[in-house]
Amino acid sequence: MARLHRKYKHEAFDPRIRALTLQFVKMRPWDRPDAETERLFRTWVHGACTVYQIPEPELVRIPVTVPSAEPTWGAYRENTIFLRRWSMISLFHQFRHHMQEHAEEHDRTDDPEDAQAWACSLFYVVAPRRFRRMARAGRIVGVSAEDLEPRGNRAHV
């Protein structure tokens, strides 16, 4: 696999986004009622937009019961982040699309894995133990338990 969580290193992230994200993780939004979780997600988006000096996107949660042609847990279109559930990785992923939309042309990338790599790397940088637990449980798209092993210890098939 691609080891997406290792693409962006600690230094690649503005210290303010690392601090904001660490605080977000410490608030444990996954353990809260929906209204509190939504408030924490909106607070993170507001803070991230302030850090990167970009317009704030709308944040819309689409219940999983609503049929969708998109098999993903989120999407980004027209300055709006759509989430099918409250997932930090999905939020970070869609926020990266928002960042790219507002980036200077020379700062944009054509890498189709960039948004997921940025999301995984940010989460890994601020909460490596939680990230590894989630990846081992198969809860992070694009990252397997094997990806967590040092390169020299990976089994060859």
Q: What are phi and psi of 60, to 5 degrees?
A: -125, 130
Nearest to 57 by CA among 83, 76, 80: 80
- Token pair, residue 73, equals 């847990």
Reference 129, options 15, 12, 26, 19; nearest CA is 26
Give me the tens of pLDDT residue by residue for the chain, a chain 157 residues long.
467 666 778 888 999 999 999 999 999 999 999 999 999 999 999 999 999 999 999 999 987 665 555 546 789 999 999 999 899 999 999 999 999 999 877 677 777 789 999 999 999 999 999 988 888 888 887 776 676 776 655 444 3
pTM: 0.84
Residue 72 in tokens? 């993903």
Rounded distance between C-alpha atoms, residue 91 and residue 45, angstroms: 9
pLDDT value of residue 110? 73
Q: What's the confidence (pLDDT) of residue 147? A: 67
State residue 156's pLDDT score. 43
DSSP secondary structure letters along 18-55: HHHHHHHHHT-GGGS-HHHHHHHHHHHHHHHHHHHT-P
Q: Answer for the pair 100, 108: CB distance below 8 angstroms, yes or no.
A: yes
Residue 149, SS3 per DSSP:
coil
